[in-house]
A and B are shown apart, each in its own frame.
Chain A
Amino acid sequence: MAPSLNDDSPPSTIDEAFTENNLQPFFVLQKGPSRKSDRKSSGTGRTRRFDLSSASPKNSANIEDEKEDENMNLRMEAFEFVWSKIESTIKDVLRVINTNVFSEIQTWVHQSFDTIRSLGTPEFPEATQSFPIITDANSKRLFTGLVLTKNMEFVDDLLTFEELGKHLKYQGCHVANLSSLDFTAKNGVGGCLRSLLRQFLMSSLDPADISILASWYREENCNNPVVVIIDDIERCCGSVLSDFILMLSEWVIKIPVILIMGVATTLDAPRNILPSNALRCLCPFEFTLGTPAERMDAVVEAVLVKPCSGFIIGHKVAVFMRNYFVSQDGTLTSFIRALKIACTQHFYTEPLSVILLEFASEEDNLVFEIERHGLSPEVIWKHVFEFPSCQRVKLNKLTSESLAHAFSELKRLQNQWRAVVLCLYVTGKGEKVRLLDLFCEAIDPESYNQGEFDTNMKAEKDPVLSSSQIKGHVICKAVRLVRDLSTAQLGKLLKMWENLTVGIPEINGKVKELLSLLNVEDGKSSKKDLTVTPRRHTSRIQLNIEKDSKSLSDKAANLIECMVRDYMHPTECIPFHEIFCFKDVDKLQLALIGDPRRGIQVDLLEFQKLLCCRCCTSSSNALLPSMHDTSIMYKLAQEHGDLINLHDWYQSFKSIVLCPNSKRKPRQSPLPKKRKGIKEAESQSEASIQARFCRAVTELQITGLLRMPSKRRPDFAQRVAFGL
């Protein structure tokens, strides 16, 4: 690499001078589309241009580009369609979960309002005065609903409280949502008041005064309760909150405020953060929301198991998301975010994902027209043939019809799979079988391919093997539960199965058969009801002794086993699933969980892998002078303890940079000159080495991997990270 090459290198994006802009706190890099009228933005507008462009003569590469563009826009459209469908499904599910609590809260709000009104409404002269009315202690009581969220992660409940607000608004209440950020010591009680005024009066008046609120309420006819929702009181500043409560309680006759507060921990929470005089004003009631696990199962059921958008995730992705939820993040919000990232990734990488637009909207008779999707048929067929799932089944000729047929087959198999999973879920629901776990197992293509479900079932019958040793034990647990059921319970369960398998005659028929058997049995056993409740142990012994007199629950268990074996095809085993299924777990992980701590250290320690230069790739771990300065410094720092002596560090840096026996960088001074001027160069470069040392230290400081020397220890810098 000659130096001249450096100069000629493409307009490097890094070496811009310190322009004025770099020292501005902020600046406008560019203004948006100024000629909006004559040029459409890159949005959906472009799709219509397709016909025109194909008519005008262009070279083929351009047309390909155009098609690619068009396809990308269509994919964007498809993504928006699919994601909005998923999002609205999730919202609906969460709303349904909260329906009961919400209506409970609503009736309580109205009852409380009536109670406040019964204490008397202010007369006209009183009402217009700008100070509160207090008649007795009772009139200072503030009705307070404590909503136990059962969830330490308040981020999941933000939406809940927002929805609660909407629900109450819809029922005629005046509602304001305050967040814990409104209760900061810095803004004081004025901050919350300002927020209230902004939400009720839709204007921000500067002298925030509660009498403004009182006169506003008077003008609003005084017929509806005023509800103030605070999402998480444990994150509020206690003194501000208590001031707020005391203030509201004094005005409660004039402004009938009903408080609703989210509590993440226990009912003790208000007692812990509020002083007694504020507590005395509260008249608390308790409500409880569903647990995160319940919500998760409901979301998984609606979005991933039941037909929703057509978009699905692969087994590895599902397991990753499950583990991230269970052991790392614990919020439904992040689970949904992960799903969105997966969805984005999928639509970006998979050209055929546009099909989802029709796949989701049209029911059965999918008319598949490749040309509509902006890609040339050859490209698509080639792409389709490259699917691993397609190669497995050794299709040799594909037509639009065969593809459409394959899709309807895929839908059929998915329906079967769904029915089995839901049957398993209703079976295990009472016994803490989580749908998320079940889902992860049910879409595992490997255990399906190896017939593992089957062998597991056999192992399950063999009492020597405990279920914990077996992969797929959630499914086995559900199956085992069937064996333990009493006849009455079994009857209920079979009814549920019957409903769940309605569209699938193969399974439905068998369930019906069992049900009728059960009814006969029921008729027989109605006299000796108590004797026929086969517990597990007895039934197992019976099983060993007389195989043909199987109890009904065994038959049911066998049925579900056979359903699992024959009808639960994981999607990843079906041809063409790649079009609908996102499987790249690594990409998802990288996008969801950035790990700067590890990432930046690895960059420094293994920079050769990224820069791919020839000069620094040596087999040994030796430090070479050609390496990146900061990288050398960081590697050297690894040899120190938690404190790094700057002097030593500098000396070792210097010795490496000047290392005489290692090969010099080829682009540096040619050999003969080097030997002659080495001493001169050394004294000359002293300043430059020091400067390089300084810069490397500065860069390490920017990355936060190094703490600068303190006054107490001026000669030592401190290491921050130990290990990746």
Chain B
Amino acid sequence: MDFNAAEEEEFGFSRNYFLAKEMGSSGKKSARKLSDINVVDEQELREASANIEPKHQNDVADLINSYKSLYPKWVFDLRCGFGLLMYGFGSKKSLIEDFASTALAEHSVVVINGYLQSINIKQVIIALAEILWEQLKLKRKVSSGSLPKVQQPFSSRSMDDLLVFLDGPEMDEKDSFICVVVNNIDGPGLRDTETQQYLARLASCSYIRVVASIDHVNAPLLWDKKMVHAQFNWYWYHVPTFAPYKVEGLFLPLILAHGSSKQSAKTALIVLQSLTPNAQSVFRILAEYQLSHPDDEGMAIDNLYSISRERFLVSSQVTLNAHLTEFKDHELVKTKRHSDGQDCLYIPLTKEGLEKLLSEIS
């Protein structure tokens, strides 16, 4: 009977898929363009999106508060050696952090923000090792035992050594673990296999317990059975919060924002790498200017020209324009009319994206 049900379900999936496909291709497909919408200015849009009036605020707060009754259970599960995995619609960041700071007050808690673009997992593990070291030192002092000397600072040790240290023999008090909260363990900064492997190994360490959240429907595909069963040892909790994804969505482009911010640092990097070193350097000048003058509307073309010439990157306005055309074609650079009437250039990327890009082309 179970098999039949499963088969039926599977069949339903494919049927739905083909029905949807058919609907899409059966001529009824609307040809209307996104540009037909009278989109307001990007600035205004961003402002408006920062001031969206939340709906159901009280209901959402009630819902989140209702999870408080689960806190003791979560602590119990952590003490039993499971990792907690929270899923469901809505930002779970504050819920988990609230849990960690109220119910795990006696434990050290480190939070990883997986929704950010770049996370150095080694830095995290070094920080964890340092915390554990302090904790052990303190305990040994109390129990007047001796602790082996650290031969090497943690920051210069290899990942394997650090993980071995974190996976040390159990202490007398079994539940003195360090809690690692991972917001969006399926987030862009943690999504690659290597990082997930390190996270899994971290999660299996005896001193570490992980509380993580996922938001993507396909997040479980990140893990194989070894990671799920033997390392993360997930205990699933369905905790929809309906809280807005404020920070999580901060780095995603607004769909109506002229496609300008659709340009991600990643595609920009690919384009830049294909350009000549001189062109890259010109871009770098512009980027550095933008970073050092965050309030400016952009860099004046004259200004860019003079600096580029000083550094022997361009010989004439014509060569600079050639570079600029290339940039504009690939949407790396945009022009804007400055308030004093002059045209100026800017890069449609966030500060973080720009910094990351600069570090990667150097």
Chain A residues with a Cβ under 8 A of chain B:
1, 5-6, 9-10, 12-14, 16, 18, 21-34, 36-37, 41-45, 72, 76, 79-80, 83, 153-155, 158, 181, 186, 195, 198, 204, 323, 327, 329, 331, 333-334, 337, 340-341, 344, 348, 590-594, 596-597, 599-601, 603-604, 607, 610-613, 626-630, 640-643, 645-648, 650-651, 665, 686-688, 690-695, 697-699, 701-705, 708-709, 714-715, 717, 719-723
Q: Smallest Cβ distance from A333 to chain B, in angstroms? A: 4
Q: Smallest Cβ distance from B296 to chain A, in angstroms? A: 22
Cβ-based interface call for B112 (8 A):
yes
B59–A611 CB distance below 8 A: yes
Expressed in whole angstroms, the Cα–Cα distance for A651 and B52 within the complex equals 19
Expressed in whole angstroms, the Cα–Cα distance for A153 and B224 within the complex equals 10
Expressed in whole angstroms, the Cα–Cα distance for A715 and B90 within the complex equals 27
Given A14-B61, A29-B181, A155-B226, also A647-B34 (CB < 8 A) = yes
Q: Which residues of A contact B262 (CB under 8 A)?
A: 708
Q: Which residues of B contact A629 (CB under 8 A)?
A: 55
> What are the 10 A-B residue pairs with the smallest beta carbon separation, nearest first?
A641-B24, A594-B236, A641-B23, A691-B49, A32-B108, A691-B48, A722-B16, A603-B89, A704-B216, A723-B16
Q: Which residues of B contact A686 (CB under 8 A)?
A: 38, 40
Expressed in whole angstroms, the Cα–Cα distance for A616 and B154 within the complex equals 55
Q: Which residues of B contact A72 (CB under 8 A)?
A: 72, 76
B229–A155 CB distance below 8 A: yes
A1–B58 CB distance below 8 A: yes
Query: Which of these binds chain A: B114-122, B286-294, B302-310?
Result: B114-122
Cβ-based interface call for B161 (8 A):
yes
Expressed in whole angstroms, the Cα–Cα distance for A571 and B269 within the complex equals 65
A14–B241 CB distance below 8 A: yes
Inter-chain residue pair count (beta carbon < 8 A): 346
Q: Smallest Cβ distance from A292 to chain B, in angstroms? A: 13
A337–B229 CB distance below 8 A: yes
B60–A692 CB distance below 8 A: no
B57–A27 CB distance below 8 A: no
A611–B238 CB distance below 8 A: no
Cβ-based interface call for B146 (8 A):
no
Query: Which of these binds chain A: B245-253, B271-279, B316-324, B339-347?
Result: B245-253
B127–A596 CB distance below 8 A: no
B135–A32 CB distance below 8 A: yes
B242–A610 CB distance below 8 A: yes
A28–B110 CB distance below 8 A: yes
B255–A626 CB distance below 8 A: no
**24 sampled A-B residue pairs with Cβ under 8 A:** A5-B58, A12-B57, A14-B91, A25-B112, A29-B100, A31-B134, A33-B107, A83-B80, A155-B230, A591-B235, A592-B236, A596-B219, A599-B87, A611-B63, A613-B56, A629-B55, A643-B29, A687-B44, A688-B53, A690-B40, A705-B217, A708-B255, A709-B34, A721-B217
Q: Which residues of B contact A627 (CB under 8 A)?
A: 55
Residue in A9, A27, A37, A613 whose beta carbon sits within 8 Å of that of B142 in the complex:
A37
- Specify which of B23, B46, B57, B113 lies most central, judged by the most chain A CB atoms within 10 Å of its CB: B57
Q: Which residues of B contact A591 (CB under 8 A)?
A: 235-237
Expressed in whole angstroms, the Cα–Cα distance for A595 and B94 within the complex equals 22
B24–A642 CB distance below 8 A: yes
Q: Smallest Cβ distance from B236 to chain A, in angstroms? A: 3
Q: Smallest Cβ distance from A329 to chain B, in angstroms? A: 7
Closest A residue to B187 by CB, please name it.
A702
Residue in B21, B160, B238, B245 whose beta carbon sits within 8 Å of that of A699 in the complex:
B245
Q: Smallest Cβ distance from B215 to chain A, in angstroms? A: 5
B56–A13 CB distance below 8 A: no
Interface residues on B, range: 35 or more
Expressed in whole angstroms, the Cα–Cα distance for A394 and B178 within the complex equals 49
Could you list 9 further interchain pairs (A-B, Cβ under 8 angstroms) beyond the known A591-B235, A594-B85?
A31-B134, A37-B142, A591-B237, A596-B214, A647-B36, A693-B255, A701-B252, A709-B34, A715-B33
Expressed in whole angstroms, the Cα–Cα distance for A83 and B82 within the complex equals 13
B229–A334 CB distance below 8 A: yes
Cβ-based interface call for B51 (8 A):
yes
B225–A333 CB distance below 8 A: yes
A41–B106 CB distance below 8 A: yes
Expressed in whole angstroms, the Cα–Cα distance for A647 and B19 within the complex equals 22
Residue in A665, A691, A708 whose beta carbon sits within 8 Å of that of B45 in the complex:
A691
Cβ-based interface call for B270 (8 A):
no
Cβ-based interface call for B155 (8 A):
no
Q: Smallest Cβ distance from B33 to chain A, in angstroms? A: 5
Q: Which residues of B contact A641 (CB under 8 A)?
A: 20-26, 29
Closest A residue to B62 by CB, please name it.
A612
Q: Smallest Cβ distance from A638 to chain B, in angstroms? A: 9
Cβ-based interface call for B361 (8 A):
no
B256–A645 CB distance below 8 A: no
Residue in A21, A323, A592, A692 whose beta carbon sits within 8 Å of that of B2 in the complex:
A323
Q: Which residues of B contact A640 (CB under 8 A)?
A: 20, 23-24
Q: Smallest Cβ distance from B155 to chain A, in angstroms? A: 15
B131–A31 CB distance below 8 A: yes
A29–B255 CB distance below 8 A: no
Cβ-based interface call for B158 (8 A):
yes
Contact with A along B1-40 (1 / 0, CB 8 A): 0110010000011001101111111100110111011111
Q: Which residues of B contact A594 (CB under 8 A)?
A: 85, 87, 220, 234, 236-238
B108–A31 CB distance below 8 A: yes
Given A596-B214, A629-B55, also A43-B175 (CB < 8 A) = yes
Residue in B89, B110, B234, B245 whose beta carbon sits within 8 Å of that of A29 in the complex:
B110
Q: Which residues of B contact A720 (CB under 8 A)?
A: 217
Given A642-B17, A715-B32, also A610-B63 (CB < 8 A) = yes
B254–A698 CB distance below 8 A: yes
Cβ-based interface call for B69 (8 A):
no
Closest B residue to A626 by CB, please name it.
B55
Q: Which residues of A contact B236 (CB under 8 A)?
A: 590-594
Cβ-based interface call for B123 (8 A):
yes
Q: Smallest Cβ distance from A600 to chain B, in angstroms? A: 5
Expressed in whole angstroms, the Cα–Cα distance for A131 and B42 within the complex equals 68
Q: Smallest Cβ distance from B112 to chain A, in angstroms? A: 4
Expressed in whole angstroms, the Cα–Cα distance for A643 and B250 within the complex equals 25
B80–A690 CB distance below 8 A: no
Expressed in whole angstroms, the Cα–Cα distance for A41 and B175 within the complex equals 8
Closest A residue to B15 by CB, please name it.
A723
Q: Smallest Cβ distance from B104 to chain A, in angstroms? A: 8
Closest A residue to B218 by CB, please name it.
A704
A704–B217 CB distance below 8 A: yes
Q: Which residues of B contact A607 (CB under 8 A)?
A: 89, 240, 242
